[in-house]
């Protein structure tokens, strides 16, 4: 939602946008990353809660950047998470399922999500900071 709001030029100081940013920031894990368990389809309180993975961390950061939130301790911790989980060959791996075919029926693992979303987030971070 935040990337769409940013793309259409919505006033990001709107209360609903700031509530979305606050919610996203509140879901950051202690390791600096973001993740969500598949259990969130059954238990609403699990939304935005789960073990950190690179693709979902990148999605969170890209959403924040889209509404002008490119600085601050949460962003720095997210960038650090991506830097620390990057493999020596420059890629990342998502150890968990990262896609949904049909909730509660089947789930997917998009292997390339962990390759390009973190790279995109790091590039967007660099652009936002320069």
Q: What residue spans define the domains of the chain?
A: 2-129
Helix 54-66 crosses helix 113-129 at what angle (to 10 degrees)? 30
CATH code of domain 2-129: 1.50.10.20
Question: In this predicted structure, what is the pLDDT of residue 21?
Answer: 95
pLDDT digits (tens, 9 = 90+) for 76-94: 999 999 999 999 999 999 8
Dist CA 45 CA 115 (whole Å) = 29
pLDDT digits (tens, 9 = 90+) for 41-64: 888 898 999 999 999 999 999 999
Across 104-130, average pLDDT: 89
Nearest to 107, CA basis, from 97, 119, 120, 95: 97
Q: Is 22 exposed, middle or buried (0-12, 13-18, 19+ CB in 10 A)?
A: exposed
| Token pair of 40 as six digits | 């969130």
Nearest to 50, CA basis, from 82, 117, 96, 3: 96
| Token pair of 127 as six digits | 């652009």
Question: In this predicted structure, what is the pLDDT of residue 83?
Answer: 96
In the predicted structure, residue 1 carries a pLDDT above the cut 80: no
Structure confidence at residue 31 as a pLDDT band (50, 70, 90): very high
- The percentage of residues in the chain with a pLDDT greater than 70, rounded to a whole number, is 100
Question: Which residues make beta-bridge pairs with 89?
Answer: none
Share the mean pLDDT of the chain: 91
Across 29-35, average pLDDT: 97
What pTM was computed for the model?
Answer: 0.91
The helix (run of H) or strand (run of E) holding residue 96 is none
Count Cα neighbours of 127 within 13 Å in the Cβ-side half-sphere. 11
């Amino acid at each position: 939602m935040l990337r769409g709001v940013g793309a259409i030029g919505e006033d990001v100081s709107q209360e609903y946008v700031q509530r979305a940013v606050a919610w996203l920031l509140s879901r950051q894990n202690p390791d600096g990353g973001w993740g969500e368990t598949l259990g969130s389809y059954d238990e609403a309180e699990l939304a935005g809660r789960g073990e950190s993975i690179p693709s979902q961390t990148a999605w969170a950061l890209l959403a924040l950047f889209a509404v002008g939130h490119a600085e601050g301790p949460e962003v720095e911790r997210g960038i650090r998470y991506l830097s620390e989980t990057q493999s020596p060959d420059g890629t990342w791996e998502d150890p968990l399922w990262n896609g949904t075919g049909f909730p509660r029926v089947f789930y997917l693992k998009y292997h390339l999500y962990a390759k390009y979303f973190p790279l995109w987030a790091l590039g967007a971070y660099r652009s936002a900071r320069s």
